Structure 1
Protein backbone atom coordinates (compact mmCIF):
# COMPACT_ATOMS: atom_id res chain seq x y z
CA UNK A 1 0.00 0.00 0.00
CA UNK A 2 2.85 2.32 0.86
CA UNK A 3 4.49 1.75 -2.52
CA UNK A 4 1.14 2.25 -4.27
CA UNK A 5 0.57 5.59 -2.50
CA UNK A 6 4.05 6.80 -3.43
CA UNK A 7 3.57 5.77 -7.02
CA UNK A 8 0.23 7.59 -7.13
CA UNK A 9 1.83 10.75 -5.75
CA UNK A 10 4.62 10.59 -8.32
CA UNK A 11 2.08 10.04 -11.09
CA UNK A 12 0.11 13.07 -9.93
CA UNK A 13 3.23 15.22 -9.94
CA UNK A 14 4.21 14.01 -13.42
CA UNK A 15 0.67 14.74 -14.62
CA UNK A 16 0.86 18.30 -13.32
CA UNK A 17 4.31 18.86 -14.80
CA UNK A 18 3.23 17.60 -18.20
CA UNK A 19 -0.09 19.44 -18.08
CA UNK A 20 1.42 22.55 -19.60
CA UNK A 21 1.17 24.52 -22.81
CA UNK A 22 3.10 27.26 -24.58
CA UNK A 23 3.09 28.99 -27.99
CA UNK A 24 6.21 28.05 -29.93
CA UNK A 25 5.40 30.01 -33.10
CA UNK A 26 5.31 32.97 -33.56
CA UNK A 27 7.94 33.49 -30.90
CA UNK A 28 6.19 34.45 -27.68
CA UNK A 29 7.39 36.52 -24.73
CA UNK A 30 10.10 34.90 -22.62
CA UNK A 31 10.90 35.33 -18.90
CA UNK A 32 13.72 37.76 -18.08
CA UNK A 33 15.27 40.16 -15.59
CA UNK A 34 12.46 42.73 -15.78
CA UNK A 35 10.01 39.99 -14.86
CA UNK A 36 12.25 38.95 -11.96
CA UNK A 37 12.37 42.52 -10.63
CA UNK A 38 8.56 42.69 -10.59
CA UNK A 39 7.49 39.14 -9.84
CA UNK A 40 10.38 38.00 -7.66
CA UNK A 41 13.49 35.96 -8.32
CA UNK A 42 11.91 32.67 -7.29
CA UNK A 43 9.04 33.14 -9.74
CA UNK A 44 11.57 33.98 -12.45
CA UNK A 45 13.57 30.86 -11.60
CA UNK A 46 10.40 28.78 -11.73
CA UNK A 47 9.40 30.09 -15.16
CA UNK A 48 12.97 30.00 -16.44
CA UNK A 49 13.09 26.27 -15.80
CA UNK A 50 9.54 25.62 -17.01
CA UNK A 51 7.89 28.37 -19.05
CA UNK A 52 5.07 25.93 -19.84
CA UNK A 53 3.79 26.37 -16.26
CA UNK A 54 0.46 27.87 -15.23
CA UNK A 55 -0.37 31.12 -13.46
CA UNK A 56 -1.78 29.43 -10.37
CA UNK A 57 1.55 27.65 -9.96
CA UNK A 58 3.37 30.99 -10.18
CA UNK A 59 1.14 32.43 -7.47
CA UNK A 60 1.87 29.50 -5.18
CA UNK A 61 5.57 30.23 -5.50
CA UNK A 62 5.09 34.00 -5.13
CA UNK A 63 2.96 33.73 -1.98
CA UNK A 64 6.01 33.03 0.18
CA UNK A 65 8.35 35.53 -1.49
CA UNK A 66 8.97 39.04 -0.14
CA UNK A 67 10.17 40.38 -3.49
CA UNK A 68 6.90 39.62 -5.28
CA UNK A 69 5.17 42.90 -6.24
CA UNK A 70 1.59 42.16 -7.15
CA UNK A 71 0.78 45.34 -9.10
CA UNK A 72 4.12 45.52 -10.92
CA UNK A 73 4.11 41.83 -11.77
CA UNK A 74 0.58 41.99 -13.23
CA UNK A 75 0.75 38.22 -13.39
CA UNK A 76 -2.58 37.76 -15.20
CA UNK A 77 -1.19 39.61 -18.21
CA UNK A 78 1.11 37.30 -20.18
CA UNK A 79 1.91 35.37 -16.97
CA UNK A 80 3.93 38.36 -15.79
CA UNK A 81 6.35 38.17 -18.72
CA UNK A 82 7.51 41.69 -19.55
CA UNK A 83 7.86 43.62 -22.80
CA UNK A 84 11.13 45.07 -21.45
CA UNK A 85 12.65 41.57 -21.71
CA UNK A 86 11.32 41.10 -25.25
CA UNK A 87 11.95 44.35 -27.14
CA UNK A 88 13.93 42.48 -29.78
CA UNK A 89 11.11 40.01 -30.27
CA UNK A 90 8.34 42.07 -31.89
CA UNK A 91 6.42 40.86 -34.93
CA UNK A 92 5.23 43.27 -37.63
CA UNK A 93 1.78 42.59 -39.09
CA UNK A 94 -0.71 44.40 -41.28
CA UNK A 95 -4.49 44.46 -41.25
CA UNK A 96 -6.02 41.35 -42.83
CA UNK A 97 -2.80 39.33 -42.56
CA UNK A 98 -3.11 35.65 -41.66
CA UNK A 99 -0.83 34.55 -38.81
CA UNK A 100 -0.02 30.87 -38.26
CA UNK A 101 0.18 29.59 -34.68
CA UNK A 102 1.84 26.50 -33.27
CA UNK A 103 1.08 25.51 -29.67
CA UNK A 104 2.88 22.81 -27.75
CA UNK A 105 0.47 21.09 -25.31
CA UNK A 106 2.13 18.35 -23.30
CA UNK A 107 -1.01 16.75 -21.86
CA UNK A 108 -4.78 17.28 -22.27
CA UNK A 109 -6.84 19.01 -19.60
CA UNK A 110 -10.36 19.92 -20.61
CA UNK A 111 -11.04 23.63 -20.74
CA UNK A 112 -11.73 26.65 -22.94
CA UNK A 113 -9.32 28.66 -25.03
CA UNK A 114 -8.97 31.61 -27.38
CA UNK A 115 -6.50 33.92 -29.12
CA UNK A 116 -7.25 37.63 -28.81
CA UNK A 117 -5.70 41.03 -29.34
CA UNK A 118 -5.04 42.42 -25.86
CA UNK A 119 -4.37 46.04 -24.89
CA UNK A 120 -1.44 45.69 -22.48
CA UNK A 121 -2.14 48.98 -20.68
CA UNK A 122 -5.56 47.81 -19.49
CA UNK A 123 -5.22 44.04 -19.93
CA UNK A 124 -8.47 44.01 -21.88
CA UNK A 125 -9.38 42.25 -25.10
CA UNK A 126 -9.83 44.58 -28.08
CA UNK A 127 -12.90 43.53 -30.01
CA UNK A 128 -13.80 39.86 -30.22
CA UNK A 129 -11.47 36.84 -29.94
CA UNK A 130 -9.80 36.01 -33.25
CA UNK A 131 -10.42 32.31 -32.63
CA UNK A 132 -11.96 30.42 -29.71
CA UNK A 133 -12.79 26.92 -28.50
CA UNK A 134 -15.64 26.01 -26.17
CA UNK A 135 -13.90 22.73 -25.44
CA UNK A 136 -10.12 22.65 -25.66
CA UNK A 137 -7.58 19.88 -25.02
CA UNK A 138 -10.28 17.53 -23.80
CA UNK A 139 -9.20 14.54 -21.78
CA UNK A 140 -11.95 12.59 -23.57
CA UNK A 141 -10.61 13.13 -27.08
CA UNK A 142 -7.03 14.17 -26.45
CA UNK A 143 -5.41 17.19 -28.03
CA UNK A 144 -6.52 17.63 -31.63
CA UNK A 145 -4.45 19.05 -34.49
CA UNK A 146 -6.64 22.13 -34.94
CA UNK A 147 -5.91 23.07 -31.31
CA UNK A 148 -2.16 23.16 -31.82
CA UNK A 149 -1.88 24.31 -35.44
CA UNK A 150 -4.24 27.04 -36.59
CA UNK A 151 -4.33 30.55 -38.08
CA UNK A 152 -5.80 33.87 -37.00
CA UNK A 153 -6.45 36.98 -39.09
CA UNK A 154 -5.31 40.40 -37.91
CA UNK A 155 -8.39 42.67 -37.63
CA UNK A 156 -8.74 45.62 -39.98
CA UNK A 157 -10.46 47.86 -37.42
CA UNK A 158 -7.64 48.35 -34.89
CA UNK A 159 -6.77 51.79 -36.21
CA UNK A 160 -3.59 53.08 -34.55
CA UNK A 161 -4.12 51.19 -31.28
CA UNK A 162 -1.32 48.72 -31.97
CA UNK A 163 1.10 50.90 -33.92
CA UNK A 164 3.67 51.12 -31.10
CA UNK A 165 5.63 48.10 -29.86
CA UNK A 166 4.49 46.99 -26.43
CA UNK A 167 0.96 48.38 -26.74
CA UNK A 168 -0.66 45.15 -27.95
CA UNK A 169 -0.13 41.41 -27.89
CA UNK A 170 -1.74 38.41 -29.50
CA UNK A 171 -2.52 36.41 -26.37
CA UNK A 172 -3.16 32.67 -26.42
CA UNK A 173 -5.28 31.88 -23.38
CA UNK A 174 -6.16 28.39 -22.11
CA UNK A 175 -8.14 27.88 -18.92
CA UNK A 176 -8.13 24.21 -18.01
CA UNK A 177 -11.30 24.21 -15.94
CA UNK A 178 -10.99 20.57 -14.96
CA UNK A 179 -7.86 21.30 -12.89
CA UNK A 180 -8.25 25.10 -12.38
CA UNK A 181 -5.08 26.05 -14.20
CA UNK A 182 -4.53 28.95 -16.58
CA UNK A 183 -1.91 29.10 -19.32
CA UNK A 184 -0.99 32.13 -21.38
CA UNK A 185 1.50 33.03 -24.11
CA UNK A 186 1.86 36.51 -25.61
CA UNK A 187 3.17 37.56 -29.01
CA UNK A 188 4.21 41.22 -29.19
CA UNK A 189 3.40 42.91 -32.50
CA UNK A 190 3.03 46.23 -34.26
CA UNK A 191 0.37 46.94 -36.84
CA UNK A 192 0.97 48.68 -40.15
CA UNK A 193 -1.56 49.42 -42.88
CA UNK A 194 -2.93 46.92 -45.36
CA UNK A 195 -0.99 46.24 -48.52
CA UNK A 196 2.40 46.15 -46.84
CA UNK A 197 2.46 49.68 -45.39
CA UNK A 198 5.06 50.37 -42.73
CA UNK A 199 3.90 50.57 -39.09
CA UNK A 200 2.67 53.97 -37.97
CA UNK A 201 5.15 56.03 -35.98
CA UNK A 202 4.57 56.35 -32.26
CA UNK A 203 2.73 59.46 -31.11
CA UNK A 204 5.85 60.68 -29.31
CA UNK A 205 7.86 60.68 -32.54
CA UNK A 206 5.11 62.43 -34.47
CA UNK A 207 4.75 65.06 -31.78
CA UNK A 208 8.49 65.80 -31.76
CA UNK A 209 8.49 66.28 -35.52
CA UNK A 210 5.54 68.68 -35.42
CA UNK A 211 7.10 70.68 -32.60
CA UNK A 212 10.38 71.03 -34.47
CA UNK A 213 8.75 72.38 -37.64
CA UNK A 214 6.70 74.83 -35.59
CA UNK A 215 9.77 76.17 -33.83
CA UNK A 216 11.55 76.74 -37.13
CA UNK A 217 8.56 78.67 -38.51
CA UNK A 218 8.48 80.94 -35.47
CA UNK A 219 12.20 81.61 -35.08
CA UNK A 220 12.74 82.42 -38.75
CA UNK A 221 9.75 84.77 -39.15
CA UNK A 222 10.71 88.39 -40.03
CA UNK A 223 10.69 90.63 -36.98
CA UNK A 224 11.28 94.06 -38.61
CA UNK A 225 7.54 94.67 -39.00
CA UNK A 226 7.08 94.87 -35.24
CA UNK A 227 10.10 97.05 -34.53
CA UNK A 228 10.59 100.80 -34.90
CA UNK A 229 13.69 101.57 -36.99
CA UNK A 230 16.11 103.84 -35.18
CA UNK A 231 18.07 105.28 -38.12
CA UNK A 232 15.10 106.18 -40.32
CA UNK A 233 13.56 108.26 -37.54
CA UNK A 234 16.10 111.06 -38.02
CA UNK A 235 15.64 111.28 -41.77
CA UNK A 236 13.38 113.96 -43.33
CA UNK A 237 9.79 112.77 -43.55
CA UNK A 238 8.88 112.56 -47.22
CA UNK A 239 6.27 110.59 -49.07
CA UNK A 240 8.94 108.24 -50.43
CA UNK A 241 10.45 107.75 -46.97
CA UNK A 242 7.11 106.90 -45.40
CA UNK A 243 6.17 104.47 -48.19
CA UNK A 244 9.45 102.58 -47.77
CA UNK A 245 8.99 101.85 -44.04
CA UNK A 246 7.15 98.97 -42.34
CA UNK A 247 3.51 99.65 -41.50
CA UNK A 248 4.01 100.27 -37.79
CA UNK A 249 6.75 102.85 -38.40
CA UNK A 250 4.81 104.60 -41.17
CA UNK A 251 1.85 105.03 -38.85
CA UNK A 252 4.08 106.51 -36.17
CA UNK A 253 5.77 108.87 -38.66
CA UNK A 254 2.47 110.15 -39.99
CA UNK A 255 1.21 110.77 -36.46
CA UNK A 256 4.36 112.81 -35.62
CA UNK A 257 4.04 114.92 -38.80
CA UNK A 258 0.40 115.63 -38.07
CA UNK A 259 1.24 116.64 -34.52
CA UNK A 260 3.96 119.06 -35.72
CA UNK A 261 1.65 120.66 -38.29
CA UNK A 262 -1.00 121.30 -35.66
CA UNK A 263 1.46 123.52 -33.75
CA UNK A 264 1.85 126.00 -36.67
CA UNK A 265 -0.51 129.01 -36.26
CA UNK A 266 -2.94 129.77 -39.09
CA UNK A 267 -4.99 132.86 -39.98
CA UNK A 268 -8.20 131.28 -38.80
CA UNK A 269 -6.67 130.51 -35.44
CA UNK A 270 -5.49 134.11 -34.59
CA UNK A 271 -8.01 136.73 -35.80
CA UNK A 272 -8.51 138.31 -32.34
CA UNK A 273 -4.92 138.22 -31.17
CA UNK A 274 -2.83 141.39 -30.85
CA UNK A 275 0.17 142.03 -33.07
CA UNK A 276 2.57 141.63 -30.20
CA UNK A 277 1.00 138.26 -29.42
CA UNK A 278 1.75 136.91 -32.88
CA UNK A 279 5.27 135.41 -33.11
CA UNK A 280 6.95 135.53 -36.48
CA UNK A 281 6.27 132.22 -38.21
CA UNK A 282 9.14 129.88 -39.13
CA UNK A 283 7.14 127.71 -41.47
CA UNK A 284 6.46 127.99 -45.18
CA UNK A 285 5.99 131.11 -47.30
CA UNK A 286 2.26 130.58 -47.09
CA UNK A 287 2.46 130.73 -43.29
CA UNK A 288 4.41 134.04 -43.49
CA UNK A 289 1.78 135.55 -45.81
CA UNK A 290 -0.97 134.45 -43.45
CA UNK A 291 0.87 136.14 -40.56
CA UNK A 292 1.25 139.42 -42.50
CA UNK A 293 -2.44 139.32 -43.37
CA UNK A 294 -3.34 138.80 -39.71
CA UNK A 295 -1.10 141.71 -38.63
CA UNK A 296 -2.63 144.08 -41.20
CA UNK A 297 -6.08 143.07 -40.08
CA UNK A 298 -5.22 143.93 -36.49
CA UNK A 299 -3.71 147.28 -37.45
CA UNK A 300 -6.67 148.28 -39.61
CA UNK A 301 -9.11 147.05 -37.03
CA UNK A 302 -10.64 144.50 -39.38
Structure 2
Protein backbone atom coordinates (compact mmCIF):
# COMPACT_ATOMS: atom_id res chain seq x y z
CA UNK A 1 0.00 0.00 0.00
CA UNK A 2 1.40 3.35 -1.00
CA UNK A 3 0.61 6.79 0.31
CA UNK A 4 1.14 9.94 -1.64
CA UNK A 5 1.05 13.28 0.11
CA UNK A 6 0.65 16.67 -1.47
CA UNK A 7 0.77 19.95 0.42
CA UNK A 8 -0.93 23.05 -0.92
CA UNK A 9 -0.45 26.35 0.88
CA UNK A 10 -3.11 29.05 0.54
CA UNK A 11 -2.20 32.42 2.06
CA UNK A 12 -4.71 34.76 3.66
CA UNK A 13 -4.19 38.03 5.48
CA UNK A 14 -4.24 36.49 8.94
CA UNK A 15 -3.41 32.83 8.56
CA UNK A 16 -2.39 30.04 6.22
CA UNK A 17 -4.61 27.09 5.35
CA UNK A 18 -2.88 23.79 4.73
CA UNK A 19 -4.60 21.13 2.66
CA UNK A 20 -3.20 17.67 3.13
CA UNK A 21 -4.33 15.25 0.44
CA UNK A 22 -3.88 11.56 1.12
CA UNK A 23 -4.42 9.28 -1.86
CA UNK A 24 -4.53 5.55 -1.29
CA UNK A 25 -4.12 3.16 -4.18
CA UNK A 26 -5.16 -0.48 -3.91
CA UNK A 27 -6.63 -3.34 -5.94
CA UNK A 28 -10.39 -3.66 -6.17
CA UNK A 29 -12.08 -6.60 -4.52
CA UNK A 30 -13.72 -7.70 -7.77
CA UNK A 31 -11.78 -10.60 -9.21
CA UNK A 32 -8.31 -9.08 -8.80
CA UNK A 33 -8.47 -7.67 -12.33
CA UNK A 34 -5.77 -5.16 -11.65
CA UNK A 35 -8.07 -2.13 -11.59
CA UNK A 36 -7.14 0.48 -9.07
CA UNK A 37 -9.44 2.36 -6.77
CA UNK A 38 -8.57 5.73 -5.31
CA UNK A 39 -9.70 7.05 -1.97
CA UNK A 40 -9.03 10.70 -1.29
CA UNK A 41 -9.23 12.22 2.14
CA UNK A 42 -8.87 15.93 2.74
CA UNK A 43 -7.73 17.38 6.06
CA UNK A 44 -7.89 21.13 6.56
CA UNK A 45 -5.72 22.63 9.28
CA UNK A 46 -5.47 26.28 10.27
CA UNK A 47 -1.81 27.22 10.70
CA UNK A 48 -0.38 30.38 12.17
CA UNK A 49 1.89 32.10 9.61
CA UNK A 50 4.64 32.49 12.20
CA UNK A 51 5.31 28.74 12.12
CA UNK A 52 4.70 28.18 8.40
CA UNK A 53 7.80 27.67 6.22
CA UNK A 54 9.57 30.84 5.15
CA UNK A 55 11.73 31.42 2.08
CA UNK A 56 14.93 30.43 3.87
CA UNK A 57 13.46 27.24 5.35
CA UNK A 58 13.28 23.71 4.02
CA UNK A 59 11.18 20.78 5.15
CA UNK A 60 12.74 17.34 5.19
CA UNK A 61 10.66 14.51 3.74
CA UNK A 62 10.21 13.01 7.20
CA UNK A 63 9.19 16.41 8.58
CA UNK A 64 6.67 17.28 5.85
CA UNK A 65 3.97 18.03 8.41
CA UNK A 66 6.26 19.55 11.02
CA UNK A 67 4.71 22.99 10.85
CA UNK A 68 1.21 21.76 11.72
CA UNK A 69 0.36 22.71 15.35
CA UNK A 70 1.08 19.90 17.82
CA UNK A 71 3.86 18.35 15.74
CA UNK A 72 7.59 18.90 15.53
CA UNK A 73 9.28 22.28 15.18
CA UNK A 74 10.60 23.55 11.88
CA UNK A 75 14.17 22.86 10.85
CA UNK A 76 15.80 25.70 8.92
CA UNK A 77 18.34 25.31 6.16
CA UNK A 78 20.77 27.78 7.73
CA UNK A 79 22.34 25.91 10.66
CA UNK A 80 22.78 29.15 12.59
CA UNK A 81 18.99 29.40 12.78
CA UNK A 82 18.35 25.82 13.87
CA UNK A 83 17.55 25.99 17.58
CA UNK A 84 15.95 22.59 18.22
CA UNK A 85 17.43 19.14 17.60
CA UNK A 86 14.36 17.11 18.43
CA UNK A 87 12.31 15.90 21.39
CA UNK A 88 11.92 12.57 23.19
CA UNK A 89 8.87 11.55 25.24
CA UNK A 90 8.40 8.51 27.47
CA UNK A 91 6.17 7.27 30.30
CA UNK A 92 7.38 5.11 33.16
CA UNK A 93 6.55 1.50 32.29
CA UNK A 94 6.46 0.53 35.93
CA UNK A 95 6.69 2.16 39.31
CA UNK A 96 10.18 2.48 40.65
CA UNK A 97 12.09 3.89 37.68
CA UNK A 98 11.88 5.54 34.27
CA UNK A 99 14.38 5.22 31.42
CA UNK A 100 14.84 8.45 29.48
CA UNK A 101 16.85 9.09 26.30
CA UNK A 102 18.23 12.10 24.47
CA UNK A 103 16.48 12.92 21.16
CA UNK A 104 18.04 10.98 18.28
CA UNK A 105 19.21 14.17 16.52
CA UNK A 106 21.07 15.51 19.58
CA UNK A 107 24.60 16.71 18.85
CA UNK A 108 27.72 17.33 20.89
CA UNK A 109 27.41 20.82 22.42
CA UNK A 110 23.60 20.87 22.59
CA UNK A 111 21.90 21.41 25.93
CA UNK A 112 19.21 18.96 27.03
CA UNK A 113 16.17 20.29 28.88
CA UNK A 114 14.55 17.42 30.76
CA UNK A 115 10.98 17.96 32.02
CA UNK A 116 10.04 15.25 34.53
CA UNK A 117 6.36 15.22 35.54
CA UNK A 118 4.18 13.21 37.88
CA UNK A 119 0.52 12.92 38.82
CA UNK A 120 -0.18 11.51 42.27
CA UNK A 121 3.51 11.06 43.04
CA UNK A 122 6.66 12.74 44.31
CA UNK A 123 9.53 13.94 42.13
CA UNK A 124 13.26 14.25 42.90
CA UNK A 125 14.75 17.69 43.44
CA UNK A 126 18.26 16.49 42.60
CA UNK A 127 19.68 14.19 39.92
CA UNK A 128 23.32 13.20 39.52
CA UNK A 129 25.06 15.11 36.70
CA UNK A 130 22.01 17.35 36.12
CA UNK A 131 21.17 20.87 37.31
CA UNK A 132 17.64 21.76 38.37
CA UNK A 133 16.39 24.82 36.48
CA UNK A 134 12.68 25.20 37.30
CA UNK A 135 9.85 23.46 39.14
CA UNK A 136 6.15 23.66 39.97
CA UNK A 137 4.41 21.43 42.54
CA UNK A 138 0.72 21.31 43.47
CA UNK A 139 -1.09 19.68 46.39
CA UNK A 140 -4.57 20.35 44.96
CA UNK A 141 -6.15 21.75 41.80
CA UNK A 142 -6.92 25.22 43.13
CA UNK A 143 -3.58 25.89 44.79
CA UNK A 144 -2.92 29.55 43.97
CA UNK A 145 0.86 29.40 43.48
CA UNK A 146 3.41 26.72 42.62
CA UNK A 147 5.47 25.24 45.41
CA UNK A 148 9.17 25.72 44.71
CA UNK A 149 12.14 23.71 45.95
CA UNK A 150 12.79 26.47 48.50
CA UNK A 151 9.38 25.71 50.06
CA UNK A 152 10.34 22.11 50.89
CA UNK A 153 10.36 21.43 54.65
CA UNK A 154 10.60 17.63 54.69
CA UNK A 155 12.63 15.36 52.41
CA UNK A 156 12.90 11.63 51.84
CA UNK A 157 16.23 11.33 50.05
CA UNK A 158 16.03 13.46 46.88
CA UNK A 159 12.21 13.65 47.10
CA UNK A 160 10.33 16.44 48.84
CA UNK A 161 7.34 15.01 50.72
CA UNK A 162 6.11 18.21 52.38
CA UNK A 163 6.01 21.86 51.33
CA UNK A 164 5.08 25.01 53.22
CA UNK A 165 4.62 28.54 51.84
CA UNK A 166 2.90 30.80 54.33
CA UNK A 167 -0.53 29.32 54.93
CA UNK A 168 -0.23 26.93 51.99
CA UNK A 169 1.10 23.49 52.69
CA UNK A 170 0.93 19.91 51.50
CA UNK A 171 2.77 17.06 49.88
CA UNK A 172 3.01 18.70 46.45
CA UNK A 173 2.17 15.34 44.90
CA UNK A 174 -1.15 16.10 43.20
CA UNK A 175 0.66 17.28 40.06
CA UNK A 176 4.12 18.60 39.38
CA UNK A 177 7.02 19.12 37.00
CA UNK A 178 10.74 19.55 37.60
CA UNK A 179 13.02 20.72 34.78
CA UNK A 180 16.68 19.69 34.74
CA UNK A 181 19.34 20.57 32.18
CA UNK A 182 22.83 19.50 31.13
CA UNK A 183 25.23 20.17 28.28
CA UNK A 184 25.87 17.24 25.95
CA UNK A 185 29.38 15.92 25.40
CA UNK A 186 30.56 12.93 23.40
CA UNK A 187 31.06 11.03 26.67
CA UNK A 188 27.42 11.36 27.78
CA UNK A 189 25.28 8.20 27.64
CA UNK A 190 22.36 8.36 25.23
CA UNK A 191 19.91 7.11 27.88
CA UNK A 192 19.69 7.26 31.66
CA UNK A 193 17.50 5.83 34.42
CA UNK A 194 15.79 7.90 37.11
CA UNK A 195 14.66 6.19 40.30
CA UNK A 196 11.09 7.04 41.28
CA UNK A 197 9.09 6.95 44.49
CA UNK A 198 5.43 6.67 43.41
CA UNK A 199 2.73 8.04 41.12
CA UNK A 200 2.26 8.19 37.34
CA UNK A 201 5.41 9.66 35.82
CA UNK A 202 6.44 10.81 32.35
CA UNK A 203 9.31 12.72 30.77
CA UNK A 204 9.78 15.10 27.84
CA UNK A 205 13.35 15.94 26.77
CA UNK A 206 14.29 18.48 24.11
CA UNK A 207 17.71 19.47 22.72
CA UNK A 208 18.47 23.19 22.22
CA UNK A 209 21.47 24.52 20.29
CA UNK A 210 23.96 27.30 21.12
CA UNK A 211 22.93 27.69 24.76
CA UNK A 212 25.02 29.92 27.03
CA UNK A 213 26.98 27.35 29.04
CA UNK A 214 27.50 29.50 32.15
CA UNK A 215 23.96 30.86 32.42
CA UNK A 216 21.56 28.59 30.49
CA UNK A 217 18.36 29.89 32.13
CA UNK A 218 17.63 33.59 31.71
CA UNK A 219 14.24 33.53 33.46
CA UNK A 220 11.40 31.20 34.43
CA UNK A 221 8.00 31.32 36.06
CA UNK A 222 5.34 28.78 37.06
CA UNK A 223 1.54 28.79 37.19
CA UNK A 224 -0.54 26.40 39.30
CA UNK A 225 -4.08 27.69 38.69
CA UNK A 226 -4.62 29.83 35.59
CA UNK A 227 -8.44 29.87 35.98
CA UNK A 228 -8.89 29.30 32.27
CA UNK A 229 -10.04 26.49 29.99
CA UNK A 230 -6.87 27.17 28.00
CA UNK A 231 -3.34 26.90 29.36
CA UNK A 232 -2.13 30.42 30.15
CA UNK A 233 1.65 30.43 30.49
CA UNK A 234 3.08 33.23 32.65
CA UNK A 235 5.14 36.06 31.19
CA UNK A 236 8.93 35.88 31.47
CA UNK A 237 11.82 38.13 30.41
CA UNK A 238 13.85 37.19 27.37
CA UNK A 239 16.13 38.59 24.70
CA UNK A 240 16.12 38.31 20.93
CA UNK A 241 17.29 34.84 19.75
CA UNK A 242 16.57 33.26 23.15
CA UNK A 243 14.23 30.26 23.16
CA UNK A 244 11.01 30.20 25.18
CA UNK A 245 10.03 26.71 26.37
CA UNK A 246 6.53 26.17 27.76
CA UNK A 247 5.72 22.95 29.63
CA UNK A 248 2.24 21.84 30.64
CA UNK A 249 1.35 18.85 32.81
CA UNK A 250 -2.38 18.22 32.60
CA UNK A 251 -4.25 16.17 35.20
CA UNK A 252 -6.82 14.76 32.75
CA UNK A 253 -6.74 13.04 29.34
CA UNK A 254 -6.17 15.58 26.55
CA UNK A 255 -5.36 15.47 22.84
CA UNK A 256 -2.94 17.80 20.99
CA UNK A 257 -5.89 19.56 19.35
CA UNK A 258 -7.34 20.42 22.77
CA UNK A 259 -4.28 22.53 23.57
CA UNK A 260 -2.70 23.69 20.32
CA UNK A 261 0.49 25.81 20.54
CA UNK A 262 0.28 29.45 21.60
CA UNK A 263 0.57 32.01 18.80
CA UNK A 264 4.13 32.08 17.48
CA UNK A 265 5.10 28.78 19.11
CA UNK A 266 5.46 25.23 17.79
CA UNK A 267 4.52 21.97 19.42
CA UNK A 268 7.75 20.24 20.42
CA UNK A 269 6.41 17.29 22.40
CA UNK A 270 3.22 15.56 23.51
CA UNK A 271 2.52 12.45 25.57
CA UNK A 272 -0.66 10.90 26.95
CA UNK A 273 -0.31 8.73 30.04
CA UNK A 274 -3.40 6.98 31.43
CA UNK A 275 -5.55 9.85 32.73
CA UNK A 276 -2.92 12.57 32.22
CA UNK A 277 -1.14 14.40 29.41
CA UNK A 278 2.06 16.36 28.90
CA UNK A 279 2.80 19.12 26.38
CA UNK A 280 5.94 21.03 25.43
CA UNK A 281 5.93 24.11 23.18
CA UNK A 282 8.78 26.33 22.04
CA UNK A 283 9.62 29.43 20.05
CA UNK A 284 12.65 31.54 19.21
CA UNK A 285 12.14 35.07 20.53
CA UNK A 286 12.32 37.93 18.02
CA UNK A 287 12.47 40.77 20.55
CA UNK A 288 13.89 41.73 23.95
CA UNK A 289 11.61 42.25 26.94
CA UNK A 290 8.64 40.57 28.58
CA UNK A 291 7.09 37.78 26.54
CA UNK A 292 3.60 38.46 27.85
CA UNK A 293 1.24 35.63 28.69
CA UNK A 294 1.13 32.82 26.12
CA UNK A 295 -2.24 31.13 25.65
CA UNK A 296 -2.93 27.80 23.97
CA UNK A 297 -5.61 27.33 21.32
CA UNK A 298 -8.17 24.54 20.95
CA UNK A 299 -11.13 23.73 23.15
CA UNK A 300 -9.00 23.37 26.28
CA UNK A 301 -10.15 21.54 29.38
CA UNK A 302 -11.20 22.03 33.02
CA UNK A 303 -9.46 25.03 34.55
CA UNK A 304 -6.74 24.68 37.18
CA UNK A 305 -6.01 21.08 36.16
CA UNK A 306 -2.54 21.93 34.84
CA UNK A 307 0.90 22.81 36.18
CA UNK A 308 2.67 25.25 33.85
CA UNK A 309 6.27 26.40 33.40
CA UNK A 310 7.61 29.19 31.18
CA UNK A 311 11.40 28.93 30.76
CA UNK A 312 13.62 31.31 28.77
CA UNK A 313 16.76 29.58 27.48
CA UNK A 314 19.68 32.00 27.22
CA UNK A 315 21.26 31.73 23.77
CA UNK A 316 23.15 35.02 23.98
CA UNK A 317 25.60 36.74 26.29
CA UNK A 318 26.07 35.86 29.93
CA UNK A 319 23.27 37.25 32.12
TM-score normalized by the length of structure 2: 0.21
In our comparison, the structure showing a higher alpha carbon Rg is 1
Bigger proportion of residues as helix:
1
What TM-score does the superposition give when structure 1 sets the normalisation length? 0.21
Q: Which is strand-richer, 1 or 2?
A: 2
The structure, 1 or 2, with the larger RCO (C-alpha pairs under 8 Å, 6+ apart) is 2
